[in-house]
Amino acid sequence: MIQTGQRSTMNGGEKILGVEGGGTKTSWVLVERAGNELSVLDQGKLPPANFRLATPGELRAILSELPKEITSVGIFLAGCGTEEDRQSLTRLCAEIWPKAKIVVGSDRHSGLAAALGHGDGIVVNAGSGSSITGRRDKRIENAGGWGHILGDAGGGYFLSLQALRLILREYDRLYKELVDLEAKFPDLVTPDSPTQRVSGRPLQAFAQIQHRVPMLSLDNTYSEDEVANFYKRITRLLPDEKVPVVIEPKVDGVAVSVMYENGRLKYAATRGDGSVGDDITQNIKTIRSVPQQLRGSAPKVFEVRGEAYLDKDGFKKLNKEREAAGLPLFANPRNAAAGSLKHLNPKVAAQRPLGMVFYGTGAT
């Protein structure tokens, strides 16, 4: 643990800021000390601030959100375990609070202080990761705290992985049981069975599907002025209306329409020319995030529209496999997603790590 700086004189009592950050969140509290009395002035939560996982820029951005007018600050972050780490964190804090007394360390230090004060004992930190710290007199012993890559038994990350392994193992067991059952009783096979996500035979060509409601495209812009002018045009058309605006990141994928009838997936189609698109039902069925049967009381006709996409990690993995096989590489994730959906063999699409995000509805 490192301490630096001088306690400054401010109006009123001493204002002390305490911060503890880990892999899930960063918690902070601002207190004022007047004599032996402490009163909470403010508190809150910020994004995760694990010293090993966050870049200096990310840490600076998170800590810059905290109150500035303080006398002393204590910053305790998971992963801040070496002298070099603490010196680096101290320099960063000095940029943000140049006049404050600064104390930095790891969440082990804050855990000891909070639980034991100056006394002896053992403290178990069980959060995203986990660690055990024991103190007797001036001797301190540590166990765990290796981080999510090596794994901390008892930590949230470790327990989540264990739970996921159990779920996948049980899914595989049930899936095999279903395959055996359907092989024995073929008349029990239904179109929405998990075994039917990948069709057995490649298509000769894509059939055409007429959109019940035209599937229009979105316009692009790279200018804030164009966005502002677009909003002005809307307000001129609706002078007596207060027009709310929602701005969100756009997934750069391939526009897809998925039609459900009586809750069951009927077909999926590309946008095409807006009126007619290609039938890509067999390929969409290979995307596990797309339900083949809706839960609950579904409407008779329900069309959802969204983007089929390939994330960056999946794109890198796919291109690495293609390079090893001597195949041409995809130029970008969007092209890779489009090529996967337009492949006539659904078994190829099933091997691609495609995802789907829905943003609107069509025919209902």
**Which residue numbers are catalytic?**
250
Task: Compute CA 292 distance to the chain's CA centroid, rounded to the nearest angstrom.
Answer: 24
Task: State how far the Cα of 21 lies from the Cα of 334, in Å rounded to an integer.
Answer: 36
Polymer length in residues for the chain: 364
Structure tokens at 262: 């009586």
Place of tokens 């004189």: 9
Phi, psi of 358 (to 5 degrees): -100, 140
Structure tokens at 272: 């095409």
Parallel/antiparallel/unpaired status of strands 276-278 and 37-46:
unpaired
Beta carbons of 333 and 310 less than 8 angstroms apart: yes
By 3-state DSSP, what share of the chain in percent is helix, strand and coil, each rounded to 5? Answer: 30, 30, 40
Edge-to-edge order in the sheet of strand 14-21: 2-4, 101-105, 72-77, 14-21, 26-34, 37-46
Structure tokens at 342: 């337009």
Q: Show the CA angle centred on residue 164, arms to residues 150 and 52, nearest 5°.
A: 30
Nearest to 81 by CA among 121, 126, 50: 50
What sign does the dihedral 184-189-195-198 (CA atoms) show?
Answer: positive
Helix (H) or strand (E) holding 163: helix 156-184
Give the long-range contacts of residues 241-245, CB within 8 A, separation 24 or more. Answer: none
